[in-house]
Amino acid sequence: MSASPVVAIAYHSGFGHTAVVAEAVRAGAADAGATVHLIKVDEITEAQWELLDSADAIVFGSPTYMGTASGAFHVFAEASSKRWFTRAWQDKIAAGFTNSASKSGDKLHTLQYFQTLAAQQGMHWVNLGLFPGWNSSTGSENDLNRLGFFSGAAAQTNADEGPEAVHKADIATAEHLGRRVTETTRAFTAGRAAVAA
C-alpha cells in the first residue's frame, strides 16, 4: 500500500452535534489508513493553517444555520483567501459534511457552498458515492445515506436533543465519507506520482 494519505478535517460545531459527525469522518479516514488532523476552524492556529497546507485532502464541516454554513465557518473560508492567492490548496482532494435539525434543513446549500469554496481553491471534490437509503417500503431510517444526499454526508439531529442523539446511520454515513476520501486521495496521489515518474 502506498504512503498514508494526510486528511485534515476543518470544521465548526456550534453545540457539539457536528463535532460528533467530524469524529465519525475522522474514524472512517483513519480506518482506511489516513493520518488525520481534526481542526476546529473557530480556534485555528497558524500551525493548523500549515497542517491544512500540507494535507493531501481537506474535508469541510459545519452545521447548517439559516440555510448555509455557520458564521464561524464563513470567517474561516474568508481567511482562506490567503491560500487562494498562492494556490496553496490547488489539486488537493476536498469533501464536506453538515448537520441540521430538519431532515432537509437546506443542508444541500451548505454542501454546495463547500463545493464552491473547494472549486475556488482549485481542489477536487469527492462525493458521497452512495445510493440513497430509506426511500422505499423496505428501507429503514437505519440505512446508510438515509437522508438521500449525494454531494456529501448529511446528518439530522433533533433540535431539542444533545450531541449524543446524532443518528447512528448518519455517523456510519460520515465514516463512509472518511473512508472514501482516504481511498480517493490514495489513488490520486499514487497516480500523480506515477505520471511524474
Closest-CA residue to 152 (of 132, 170, 172, 126) = 126
> What's residue 1's pLDDT?
45
> Using CA atoms, how far apart are residues 70 and 39, in angstroms rounded to an integer?
15
> What's residue 68's pLDDT?
98
Would you state the CATH architecture of domain 6-196?
3-Layer(aba) Sandwich (3.40)
> What's residue 3's pLDDT?
80
> What's residue 30's pLDDT?
98
Q: Residue-wise over 174-190: b if at least 16 C-beta within 10 A, else e?
A: bbbbbbbbbbbbbebbe
- Measured CA to CA in angstroms, residue 181 lies from 47, 65, 125 at distances of 23, 25, 9
3-state secondary structure of 144: coil
pLDDT in tens, the chain (197 residues): 458 999 999 999 999 999 999 999 999 999 999 999 999 999 999 999 999 999 999 999 999 999 999 999 999 999 999 999 999 999 999 999 999 999 999 999 999 999 999 999 999 999 999 999 999 999 999 999 999 999 999 999 999 999 999 999 999 999 999 999 999 999 999 999 999 99
Judged on CB neighbours under 10 Å (0-12, 13-18, 19+), 161 is exposed
- Measured CA to CA in angstroms, residue 45 lies from 53, 153, 162 at distances of 13, 26, 28
